């Protein structure tokens, strides 16, 4: 595999309700920002564009078509779209660069979840014959997962509260975060349960927003004369949809992906993990074999703001920007999709 | 440099209005198993699965790849879901090919499907978009004015569309998998069918189908060892442009012209009519055959209808460049799969596996798909020869 450089990343603020702003208005500022960082003018200046979004968030087919309007795709561009988190759009573009069909690519993800009731909307991503008719929402599934872990004694409610407290504290330094604060775990534990055993703060917030990234070959990054972070490995895996067939305290697909990209082959300074529920950060940390010397979710993670369909790419962008700013030399980023961490993507990023 | 890759297995379901006998997973798995059998492989031989379909609202299942992973033997493997509107079947094949052409994977499975009977595509296509004027037109209503503009500019005879409708159904009658089986169809019957969207009559429009199409794509080493002839992927291209912008050429979109040029250059095609033996082109409404003949460079501007009328695109009339020998989208239209069926049928032709609708000695073929407001294009050229 050839190394691929991340040269630019931008994200909007995570906001609970973007109001009358449409998708184009959410996307354009982050596109403008990554063009500026790279020193290019438009989507025509890269070889390939790929995005991630989900129609059901806005409640109408073809959400991504609006995205093409934001690109100013005149003259026409080489463009594709995944109905997945934009982290998988990055994967598609990474393959294009590997095969030599592109030297550079623009990626973006966007989501406007505010028009609907996201947890119940997402119940319709379940098996349509046996599970979807039950309308089991994402929070109920996550609560069940947390319950199995608490019952087995693997974690305590205090462990979960520690994750949230750290996330909110870290988010104080993140201007894009939606939820931040200096509560302690003890403070958080005093709050009532929401969907037992989860408290409201154990669940990620619902956010509107977008993010964008530009990647390219190392040669192109040098030509542009921009600092960059290097994608040393990227892999994604999925596992069974049947919750009853899984050990919910593990994320087997994350383990496989982490192994494939060699997470353990060096010190991990920072890991940004897409853990929409507090206990899932503990599962992911274990699955990737991360030790206590790794700083997890310095941005606050998605517990501080979760733009569905963009959050995975933002995790990668968060790590990349820390490398570009010279704060760290090696980091891991993770993205997820599906109930109880069914599908996962892992990247290892390094400084040059 | 891209690695060589080839289609080594193709599997399709029978296309029909309602597949009441299978679930979505069962239908998708049926196509996948057929592809595996065609390639002489088992689930364990597959490194990744790339799935495509049109909007999730067509069946009402959000990100259905999550639910379909078990049926597609994908547990523990990579799964990617493509969605690029009507061109998605083609785009999915191209993304799937890149898994192998990048050298990252050796052999992958790609599947596209639509089970339109689970919902109502007309509704899913026409529900109002926030902050946008509501067209409530469906696809036919959207394309009809563009077709009228083509007729005005080209002075095409009024029955060119009727001719395409008949020709593709006669082709479809040679393909046992085709949804519509109309071996007795006549020009008069099409002309007498109800007018839906002037100038498109009922029989000039595609049906609404359930079905799935799958392909196995392998690298050079594995493709060479494959039991049946591989279809070598000689070029892949995608292009997009916005639905609307000032001065947009909607009859012959620039994105389609650019996409064709790109894929021809990769495959060494200088004169598509001469250098290709046949083409599977996304023609959901009859008049799109003459329009795409021009857009794709098979005919000069304003002359596409002449190839249609003189039988050049008909397998049955012995035309020199048969289009849609499988019956095309006009005979089977599981929307999300329709693009991949074009790509797969092109592969079947150059593998010599097209059965009753085989073009004798076909060596090189084009697969084409388009979507949205004729703004998303994906194309590939496959050949029986590596180079």
How many contacts, defined by CB atoms under 8 Å, are there between A and B?
A: 194
| A-proximal residues of B, 54-113, CB under 8 Å | 55-70, 74-85, 91, 95, 98-99, 101-104
- Measured between beta carbons, the chain A residues lying within 8 angstroms of B242 are 68-69, 71-74
Q: How far is B239 from chain A (nearest CA, A)?
A: 5
Integer Rg of chain A from CA = 19
Report whether pLDDT(A344) > 90: yes
ipTM of the complex: 0.97
Q: What number is the average pLDDT over the span A163-177?
A: 98
- How far apart are alpha carbons A234 and A88 in whole angstroms? 10
> Closest partner residue to B62 among A56, A72, A342, by Cβ?
A56
Residue B192 burial class via C-beta count within 10 angstroms: exposed 0-12, middle 13-18, buried 19 and up? exposed
Nearest CA in chain B to A68: B242
**Nearest CB neighbour to B255, from listed A59, A76, A98:** A76
CB contact under 8 A, A240 and B2: no
Tell me the DSSP string of A136-192: --HHHHHHHHHHHHHHTTS--HHHHHHHHHHHHHHHTT-TT-SS-----HHHHHTSP
Pairing of strands B107-115, B364-371: unpaired
Which pLDDT value is given to residue B138?
Answer: 75
* Rounded distance between C-alpha atoms, residue A10 and residue A36, angstroms: 10
- The shortest C-alpha distance from B96 to chain A (Å) reads 9
Nearest CA to B84 among A215, A28, A126, A68? A68
Chain A residue nearest residue B125, CA to CA: A61
Please check whether residue B222 touches A, CB under 8 A: no
- CB contact (8 A) between residue A55 and residue B65: no
Do B114 and B335 contact (CB within 8 A), yes or no?
A: yes
CB-based burial, B145-160: b 16+ in 10 Å, e otherwise: ebbbebbeebebeebb
Q: Do A75 and B63 touch (CB under 8 A)?
A: no
Residue B42 confidence (pLDDT):
98
Cis bond before residue B120 (omega within 30° of 0): no
- Across the interface, whether the CB atoms of A61 and B127 are under 8 A apart is answered yes
Q: What is the mean pLDDT of residues A58-75?
A: 84
Q: Is residue A18 part of a domain?
A: yes
Asked if the structure places residue A78 within a domain, the reply is yes
Query: What range defines the domain where residue A14 resides?
Result: 4-117+206-230
Asked if residues B336 and B89 have their Cβ atoms less than 8 Å apart, the reply is: yes
User: Which backbone phi and psi does A251 adopt, to 5 degrees?
Assistant: -120, 90
- Tens digit of each residue's pLDDT (9 = 90 or more) over A32-58: 999 999 999 999 999 999 999 999 988
d(CA A155, CA B66): 27
Quick one: which H or E segment has residue A330?
strand A330-337
Give A241's contacts in chain B (Cβ within 8 Å): 66-70
Please give the angle made by the CA atoms of A46, A345 and B212, to the nearest 5 degrees.
85
* Residue B89 DSSP class: H
* Substitution target from B22, B79, B249 for chain A, most A beta carbons within 10 A: B79
Number of domains, chain A: 1
Nearest-CA distance from B374 to chain A in Å? 12
- The alpha carbon of residue A62 is apart from the nearest alpha carbon of chain B, in Å, by 7
A-facing residues of B in 115-174 (CB < 8 A) are 118, 124-125, 127-131
User: Closest residue of B to A120, CA-based?
Assistant: B62
Q: Is residue A87 one of the residues assigned to a domain? A: yes
Q: Record the tokens describing residue A189, joined without a space.
A: 């534990």
Domain ranges of chain B: 5-120+208-224
- Name the DSSP class of B156: -
Selected residue of A21, A65, A69 to mutate for chain B interface (largest B Cβ count, 10 A): A65
Cα separation, B382 vs B360, in Å, equals: 16
d(CA A34, CA B265): 32
pLDDT tens over chain B, length 387 residues = 689 999 999 999 999 999 999 999 999 999 999 999 999 999 999 999 999 998 999 999 999 999 999 999 999 999 999 999 899 999 999 999 999 999 999 999 999 999 999 988 777 777 776 666 666 667 888 899 999 999 999 999 999 999 999 999 999 999 999 999 999 999 999 999 999 999 999 999 999 999 999 999 999 999 999 999 999 999 999 999 998 899 999 999 999 999 999 999 999 999 999 999 999 999 999 999 999 999 999 999 999 999 999 999 999 999 999 999 999 999 999 999 999 999 999 999 999 999 999 999 999 999 999 998 999 999 999 999 998
Q: Is B240 in Cβ contact with A76 (below 8 Å)?
A: yes
3-state secondary structure of B90: helix
DSSP annotation string for B51-109: EE-S-GGGTT-SSTHHHHTTTTT-TTS-EEEE-BTBTHHHHHHHHHHHHHHTSS-SEEE
Among the partner-chain residues A22, A235, A337, the one whose CB lies closest to the CB of B63 is: A337
pLDDT at B24: 97
**pLDDT digits 0-9 by tens, A250-290:** 999 999 999 999 999 999 999 999 999 999 999 999 999 99
Could you tell me which chain A residue has the CA closest to the CA of B91? A80
Yes or no, beta carbons of A127 and B67 under 8 Å apart: yes
pLDDT at site B132: 67
Q: Name the helix (H) or strand (E) containing B366.
A: strand B364-371
Instruction: Please tell me whether residue B209 adopts helix, strand or coil conformation.
Output: coil
Helix (H) or strand (E) holding B347: helix B335-351
**DSSP helix/strand/coil, A258:** helix
DSSP character at residue B132: S
The CATH number assigned to the domain holding A60 equals 3.40.47.10
- Among chain A residues, CA nearest to B237: A78
Task: Give the nearest chain A residue to B248 (CA atoms).
Answer: A74
* Residue A22 near residue B131 (C-beta atoms within 8 A): yes
Do residues B285 and B247 touch, judged by C-beta distance below 8 A?
no
Cβ contacts of B72 on chain A, cutoff 8 Å: none
Q: SS3 breakdown of chain B: % helix, strand, coil, rounded to 5?
A: 40, 20, 40
The pair of structure tokens assigned to B209 is 């189908």
Secondary structure class of B130 (helix, strand, coil)? coil
**Contact A76/B23, CB-based, under 8 Å?**
no
Strand partners, A233: A348
Domain contains A317: no
Residues of A in contact with B58 (CB under 8 A): 61
Q: Which residue of B has its CA nearest to A123?
A: B62
Q: Which residue of B has its CA nearest to A25?
A: B131
**Residue A285 to residues A41, A206, A297, A334, A343, Cα–Cα distance (Å):** 39, 23, 11, 10, 16
CB interface of B with A, residues 323-362, below 8 Å: none
- Closest CB to B74: pick one of A22, A115, A238: A238
| Pairing status of strand A229-238 against strand B278-280 | unpaired
Instruction: Assign domain B5-120+208-224 to a CATH class.
Output: alpha beta
A166 domain residue, yes or no: no
Task: Tell how many helices (H) and how many strands (E) occur in chain A.
Answer: 12, 12
- The alpha-carbon gap from B285 to the nearest alpha carbon of chain A, in Å, equals 21
- How much is the pLDDT for B131? 64
Query: Would you call A295 exposed, middle or buried from its count of C-beta atoms within 10 A (0-12, 13-18, 19+)?
Result: middle
Q: How far apart are CA B51 and CA B2, in angstroms?
A: 22
A279-336: pLDDT as tens digits? 999 999 999 999 999 999 999 999 999 999 999 999 999 999 999 999 999 999 999 9
Task: For residue B237, list chain A residues with Cβ-Cβ distance below 8 A.
Answer: 78
């Amino acid at each position: 595999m050839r190394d691929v450089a991340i040269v630019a990343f931008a994200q909007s603020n995570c906001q609970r309700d973007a109001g009358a702003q449409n998708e184009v208005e959410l996307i354009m500022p982050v596109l403008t920002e990554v063009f500026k960082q790279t020193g290019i003018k438009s989507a025509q200046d890269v070889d390939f564009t790929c995005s991630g979004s989900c129609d059901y968030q806005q409640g109408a087919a073809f959400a991504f078509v609006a995205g093409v309007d934001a690109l100013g795709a005149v003259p026409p561009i080489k463009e594709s779209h995944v109905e997945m988190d934009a982290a998988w759009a990055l994967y598609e573009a990474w393959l294009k660069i590997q095969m030599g069909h592109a030297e550079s690519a623009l990626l973006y993800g966007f989501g406007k979840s505010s028009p609907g009731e996201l947890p119940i909307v997402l119940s319709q991503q379940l098996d349509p014959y046996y599970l979807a008719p039950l309308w089991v929402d994402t929070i109920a599934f996550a609560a069940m997962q947390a319950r199995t872990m608490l019952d087995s004694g693997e974690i305590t409610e205090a462990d979960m509260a520690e994750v949230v407290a750290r996330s909110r504290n870290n988010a104080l330094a993140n201007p894009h975060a939606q939820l931040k604060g200096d509560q302690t775990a003890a403070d958080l534990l005093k709050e009532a349960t929401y969907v037992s055993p989860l408290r409201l703060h154990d669940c990620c917030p619902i956010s509107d927003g977008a993010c964008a990234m530009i990647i390219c070959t190392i040669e192109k990054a040098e030509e542009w004369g921009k600092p960059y972070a290097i994608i040393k490995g990227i892999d994604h895996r999925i596992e069974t949809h049947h919750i009853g067939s899984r050990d919910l305290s593990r994320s087997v697909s994350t383990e496989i992906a982490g192994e494939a990209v060699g997470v353990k082959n060096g010190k991990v300074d920072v890991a940004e993990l897409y853990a929409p529920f507090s206990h899932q950060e503990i599962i992911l940390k274990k699955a990737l074999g991360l030790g206590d010397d790794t700083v997890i979710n310095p941005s606050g993670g998605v517990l501080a703001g979760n733009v569905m369909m963009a959050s995975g790419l933002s995790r990668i962008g968060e790590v990349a920007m820390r490398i570009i700013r010279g704060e760290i030399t090696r980091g891991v980023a993770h993205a997820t999709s599906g109930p109880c961490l069914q599908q996962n993507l892992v990247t290892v990023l390094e400084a040059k | 440099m891209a690695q060589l890759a080839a289609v080594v297995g193709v599997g399709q379901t029978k296309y029909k209005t309602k597949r009441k006998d299978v679930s979505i997973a069962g239908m998708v798995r049926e196509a996948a198993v057929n592809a595996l059998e065609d390639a002489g492989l088992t689930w364990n031989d597959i490194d990744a699965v790339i799935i495509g379909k049109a909007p999730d609202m067509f069946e009402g299942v959000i990100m259905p790849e999550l639910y379909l992973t078990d049926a597609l033997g994908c547990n523990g493997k990579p799964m990617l879901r493509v969605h690029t509107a009507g061109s998605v079947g083609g785009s999915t094949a191209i993304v799937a090919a890149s898994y192998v052409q990048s050298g990252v994977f050796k052999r992958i499975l790609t599947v596209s499907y639509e089970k339109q009977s689970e919902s109502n595509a007309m509704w899913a296509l026409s529900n109002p978009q926030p902050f946008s004027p509501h067209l409530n037109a469906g696809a036919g209503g959207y394309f009809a004015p563009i077709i009228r503009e083509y007729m005005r500019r080209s002075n095409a005879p009024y029955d060119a569309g009727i001719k395409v409708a008949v020709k593709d159904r006669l082709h479809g009658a040679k393909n046992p998998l085709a949804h519509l089986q109309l071996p007795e169809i006549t020009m008069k019957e099409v002309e007498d069918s109800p007018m839906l969207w002037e100038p498109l009559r009922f029989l000039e429009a595609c049906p609404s189908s359930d079905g799935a199409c799958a392909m196995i794509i392998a690298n050079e080493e594995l493709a060479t060892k494959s039991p049946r002839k591989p279809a070598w992927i000689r070029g892949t291209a995608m292009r997009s442009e916005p639905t609307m912008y000032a001065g947009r050429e909607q009859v012959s979109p620039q994105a389609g012209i650019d996409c064709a040029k790109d894929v021809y250059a990769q495959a060494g095609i200088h004169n598509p009519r001469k250098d290709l033996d046949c083409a599977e082109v996304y023609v959901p409404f009859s008049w799109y055959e003459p329009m795409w003949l021009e857009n794709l460079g098979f005919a000069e501007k304003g002359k596409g209808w002449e190839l249609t009328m003189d039988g050049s695109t008909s397998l049955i009339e012995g035309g020199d460049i048969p289009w849609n020998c499988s019956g095309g989208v006009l005979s089977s239209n599981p929307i999300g799969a329709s693009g991949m069926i074009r790509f797969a049928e092109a592969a079947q032709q150059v593998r010599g596996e097209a059965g009753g609708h085989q073009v004798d000695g076909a060596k090189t073929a084009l697969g084409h798909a388009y979507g949205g407001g004729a703004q998303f294009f994906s194309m590939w050229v496959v050949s029986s020869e590596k180079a």
